[in-house]
């Protein structure tokens, strides 16, 4: 089983992939024959997620979906960051009490 820190770090990395992908899609919104990037998340056996960027099968843009994806990714990143920080604080408190 993965540690809480590594699980939350994988979530932050996946959120960063979502942010990168949606930013790429928005930047290329007016490019002819553009195929959007999509992020596929896969649950890892020991905890956490992995993220892979793929291309959409269809041409076109979905600006509203990309803007929503950015907000979701930002919130996911901040939630995982809070878990990461809390885990580190708890480990520090545990070490202080046992020392």
pLDDT tens digits, 14-67: 999 999 999 999 999 999 999 999 999 999 998 899 999 999 888 888 899 999
Angle formed at CA 36 by CA 31 and CA 40, multiple of 5 degrees: 165
What's the length of the chain? 99
Positive/negative CA dihedral, 74, 76, 78, 84: negative
Q: Give the per-residue pLDDT at 57.
A: 86
C-alpha R_g of the chain = 17
The structure's pTM equals 0.83
In the predicted model, is pLDDT for residue 89 greater than 90? no
Largest CA distance in the chain: 63
Asked whether residue 2 carries a pLDDT value surpassing 90, the answer given is no
């Amino acid at each position: 089983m993965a540690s809480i820190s590594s699980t939350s770090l994988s979530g932050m990395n996946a959120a960063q992939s979502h942010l990168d992908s949606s930013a790429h899609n928005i930047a290329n919104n007016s490019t002819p024959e553009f195929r959007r990037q999509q992020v596929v998340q896969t649950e890892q056996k020991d905890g956490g997620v992995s993220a892979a960027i793929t291309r959409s099968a269809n041409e076109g843009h979905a600006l509203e979906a990309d803007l929503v994806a950015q907000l979701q990714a930002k919130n996911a990143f901040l939630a995982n960051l809070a878990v990461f920080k809390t885990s580190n604080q708890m480990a520090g408190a545990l070490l202080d009490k046992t020392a």
